[in-house]
Structure 1
Amino acid sequence: METPAIPLPKDEGEREILDNLVAIRDHLLLLKRDRTKYIRTQDVMLLYEQVIDQVKKLNEIRKGAVTKAENRLDKVLESCFQLLSLFFMTIGRTTEAPAAYALTSTIKRLLDHLTESGLFSAKDLDSMWHTLSTLDDVLRNTDAKHSPYLVELLANRENLCKETLTELRTKLDRLAKPLRDVHEKLISILRSMSLANTKAKFSTTEVQKLQNQLKDIDASRVNGNFVSVEGNVLEGSEEVADLVRRCLLWSDTVLERKGAIPDSFKSQYDKLVGIRNDLEKLSITQAWSLRETDLYDYQRELDKIDESRVDGNFLDDEGKPAELYVQRTLLYLIRRSYGYIYYLMISSEPVSEALLPYYNQLQTLKRCLVEVKNSGGVSSARDLYPYSMKLNSIDNLRVDGKFVVGGDLPEGQGAVNELLAECFDLAYELRVAAEDNVAQSD
């Protein structure tokens, strides 16, 4: 990747490993870009094993050595693990250790931003805590075939994320229970204003409505404090009052600027809006259009922009820092984009992309059948013909009970077969109920 500022390794052995990893990374990038065929498990596993072999050699070279600053080898190795992690998701191995690498990277980024801004909700933290708890199980039950180096690396990253989460949770726990809902509402309003501020067409009315909600919350204070029903000042009142003040100031700024970004930061802004919009579309259509490896390019671009900040500030071409309005707007877009990447990763199904078309069709069929059942069923078995025909067409694709694609047996056979069986069961229940109704009417 673009790492000219990162020094080359001095050790000859490390240089050789670097060359090997660059070749593997390039192979992974070519495989990622090839849309003419599905990604096969055996291709991914071959490249994974090659990376692990290089890691073993690296550990031998660095054994007992004093920890040094990162060199280009570390960066390329990180790129390899990041790509492999997304490949594991793409082939449906979402519950194996390598798949967790990209997810922990994204969670770490999100937590760093939440810590920096101090603006987060309980929902943000609960979701990430749940995800990390799931990764706990993955690492505990990891197969011996996975590198101990990778497992240890993931465990350390997970613990680091949990420590940060605990610190952030402690800050929210200081708020009295009645104020937690107010705090949650304020964070939601703040994000809605930032969204309105970055839309292609700025809506003054939309922001004014949000500002009015803020004013209502502000007006609920008594002598400047948030109080209980008994009239006692609630714990955390000062902190939430300060958040109200910050939100009101932001609403004034947004209404004044109306989404106008100075030319010196327009290219960065346009690039971030483009990334955010692409990821937003993927979050809506991900079941049908997402190949998890596509997230690599977005993540790298975001990392590059995020890491270009100096002392937390964005700089223009002349090295001048962005004003507060521009700073907050750009940071919002970065955080929102990382949020979409996180959502897309945790939504990844344990099914290879080769089987996803069948899996997605069956999920749609299941939703339709459940809806039919909940709305009272069908009047006759004939009404189920379209569903039965589709189910049978998918069932007929199996060979000895398995879905074969291009001579391969893609990952996720169990998940697709289980879903197929559920759909057949639902269709059978509906047919029996319809036949019983006809018999009773006769």
Structure 2
Amino acid sequence: MTDSPAFRLPLDPKEQPILDRILTIRDHLSILKQDRTTYVKSQDVVKYYNQLIEQVELLNQIRETKRDEQNRVDTVLDDCFQLVSLFFLTIGRNQEAPAVYSAISTVKRLLDHLKEAGYYSGKDLGTMALSIQQWRESIERGQQSYSPHLLTLLEARIHVCQERLQELQQSLSRLGPDVVGMYERLVSILRSLSACNTRSKFPVREVKDFEEQLTQIQDELHESRDVHEGKTAEQTYAERMAALSLTEGEIADGPTVIRALLARCLLWIEVIQERQGKIDDRFQDTYDKLLKIRNTLEQMNLTQAWSLRETDLYSFQRQLDRVDESRVNGNFIDAEGRPADLHAQRTLLYLLRKSYAFIYQYIISSEPVSEALLPIYNQLLTLKRCLVEVKRSGGVDSPRELYPYSMKLNSIDNMKKDGKFMVGNDIPEGQASVTALLAECFDLAYELRADSEREREDDDGDAMQLANGSVEVAG
């Protein structure tokens, strides 16, 4: 198993029994995560959560006079809470406090990386602001149900995220409505260029197209390209990094931000065109590792709804955490402690941020349904999409066309026992969500059938009137 970044402070002998117990808990959680022979049951997850909280309470008693202590106990506790959090998502208890832990950890890293990258869009921040608010509500709802030790920890982490979010929002507020569209376009191009830079084969033509777009923007703004005589684009980029960042330096107005970001895009194009996707050999292993993680997470996007168990994200989180925590003062360093050049630094940071972004997306799109009910839930989602599309396209000509949908909906409805979807003798979490979705599908099918019958009656009436008119003329 991939371990968390490890602290090396000495362990208080009094904490050794706690470490032993939480290592055992982590082992049990890992075994549960790997077992695909059956679905994860709510009672198993709650059992390990309660055992974990017992150890946290004991640890807090020992550390009454040393609250800032950090050693291996804390890293293993973090592992356990991450796993428990993802398990709460897996069993469909997304709106409960423990489920928030993993999401907050991921968003904190994303916000830090956005600040470090020096560019981001309002959409990035808006999505995370909404998520943070929802997680805060989950914590408030859990006041009577969950340990104050957990809630205090979650509240502190949310506070840190909120502060960083407000810092980034404030920086973005420097942009007036007249330049926001241009800024968003430049951010999109810069990200697309970073994606091109990580392709297996460097896309020369595509990068050239982006360069032409930037040249067009440059002409619109009546700007000239940075010639940087006697220096490489990489050297110039590094020297002007603070001036080109939205969050650093004293940027007075929106037009200044736009000009700086445009200059950054043009310099970055020069850098990646020169490198042609080739990373510094010293960081090839790290690059390959991050690229593989990014590609795997991206491919999961195609099958997420049908095959993803949220706990699968844990190993990716831990691998990324290891890479992120290995940096020194934000720099990726080689085996001899030397920092990466600018190209490697920005490329590795892009892959790191993009991978965390995928994990965040999978977490927030997790359905509030136990994995035991996901097959039914996903079938209903597909049926709903089909029915909505049929309605959008003008409905059906005959109720007969709805028979396949009705038969499938009735077969799903008949799976219920005493109004519940059962798996053996268990009642998995997410009953309300599945039942509500089933009702939506029945309503859509009913509306389509009613519209079809009404249209047919109108057609019959028109035909009758036409027939009567013909008789009168004949008479």
- Taking structure 2 as the reference length, the TM-score comes to 0.88
Matched with 1:243 is: 261
More displaced, 364-373 or 177-186? 177-186
What CA distance in whole angstroms lies between the structure 2 residues aligned with 1:164 and 1:384?
51
Q: Which runs of 5+ in 1 are unaligned?
A: 226-233
- 1:397-422 Cα shifts (integer Å, max 9, x gaps): 11111111132111100000011011
Matched with 2:31 is: 30
Name the amino acid aligned to 2:136. D
- 1:37-64 Cα shifts (integer Å, max 9, x gaps): 111111101111111111122222223x
Superposition deviation, residue 266 in structure 1: 1.6
Matched with 1:57 is: 58
Name the amino acid aligned to 1:84. V
Cα distance change on mapping 1:4 and 1:149 into 2, 3 Å: closer
Which of 330, 335, 340 is the equivalent residue of 1:322?
A: 340
Q: Aligned ranges for residues 325-336 of structure 1 at < 5 Å?
A: 325-336=343-354
Matched with 2:218 is: 218
Name the amino acid aligned to 1:30. I
Matched with 1:229 is: none
Superposition deviation, residue 224 in structure 1: 6.8
Superposition deviation, residue 143 in structure 1: 4.8
- 1:60-96 Cα shifts (integer Å, max 9, x gaps): 2223x13343011111111111110000001000000
CA contact (8 A) 1:39 1:353 kept: yes
Cα distance change on mapping 1:263 and 1:88 into 2, 3 Å: same
> What SS does structure 1 have at the residue aligned with 2:144?
coil
What CA distance in whole angstroms lies between the structure 1 residues aligned with 2:425 and 2:151?
32
Which of 308, 316, 319 is the equivalent residue of 1:298?
A: 316
- 1:359-400 Cα shifts (integer Å, max 9, x gaps): 111011011111111212111111111101111111111111
Which of 10, 13, 22 is the equivalent residue of 2:12?
A: 10
What CA distance in whole angstroms lies between the structure 2 residues aligned with 1:16 and 1:50?
14
Name the amino acid aligned to 1:43. D
Superposition deviation, residue 200 in structure 1: 1.7
Name the amino acid aligned to 1:153. L
CA contact (8 A) 1:377 1:433 kept: yes
Matched, 1:20 2:31: no
Matched with 1:230 is: none
Name the amino acid aligned to 1:173. S
> What SS does structure 2 have at the residue aligned with 1:361?
helix
What CA distance in whole angstroms lies between the structure 2 residues aligned with 1:350 and 1:282?
19
> What SS does structure 2 have at the residue aligned with 1:142?
helix
Which of 259, 263, 271 is the equivalent residue of 2:277?
A: 259
What CA distance in whole angstroms lies between the structure 2 residues aligned with 1:84 and 1:265?
34
What CA distance in whole angstroms lies between the structure 1 residues aligned with 2:63 and 2:433?
42
Superposition deviation, residue 5 in structure 1: 4.9
- 1:189-215 Cα shifts (integer Å, max 9, x gaps): 000000011112221111111111112
CA contact (8 A) 1:3 1:72 kept: no
Matched with 1:441 is: 459
> What SS does structure 2 have at the residue aligned with 1:141?
helix
What CA distance in whole angstroms lies between the structure 1 residues aligned with 2:331 and 2:203?
28
What CA distance in whole angstroms lies between the structure 2 residues aligned with 1:126 and 1:2?
30
Cα distance change on mapping 1:440 and 1:178 into 2, 3 Å: closer
More displaced, 404-413 or 86-95? 404-413
Matched with 1:117 is: 117
Matched with 1:371 is: 389
Equivalences, count: 432
Q: Which runs of 5+ in 2 are unaligned?
A: 226-251, 461-475
Superposition deviation, residue 145 in structure 1: 2.5
Cα distance change on mapping 1:259 and 1:69 into 2, 3 Å: same
Cα distance change on mapping 1:406 and 1:183 into 2, 3 Å: same
Matched with 1:135 is: 135
Superposition deviation, residue 6 in structure 1: 2.4
Matched, 1:289 2:307: yes
What CA distance in whole angstroms lies between the structure 2 residues aligned with 1:377 and 1:120?
42
Matched with 1:428 is: 446
Which structure has the larger Rg?
2
> What SS does structure 1 have at the residue aligned with 2:426?
coil
Name the amino acid aligned to 2:93. R
CA contact (8 A) 2:5 2:322 kept: no
> What SS does structure 2 have at the residue aligned with 1:70?
coil
CA contact (8 A) 2:23 2:76 kept: yes
What CA distance in whole angstroms lies between the structure 1 residues aligned with 2:104 and 2:136?
12
Name the amino acid aligned to 1:247. C
Matched, 1:269 2:287: yes
Superposition deviation, residue 4 in structure 1: 5.8
Name the amino acid aligned to 1:56. E
CA contact (8 A) 2:6 2:75 kept: no
Matched with 1:99 is: 99
More displaced, 303-312 or 345-354? 303-312
Name the amino acid aligned to 1:45. V
Q: Aligned ranges for residues 176-187 of structure 1 at < 5 Å?
A: 176-187=176-187
Matched with 2:471 is: none
> What SS does structure 2 have at the residue aligned with 1:36?
coil
CA contact (8 A) 1:8 1:73 kept: no
Name the amino acid aligned to 1:126. G
> What SS does structure 1 have at the residue aligned with 2:289?
helix
Q: Once the two structures are aligned, what percentage of the paired residues are identical?
A: 54
Which of 394, 411, 431 is the equivalent residue of 1:393?
A: 411
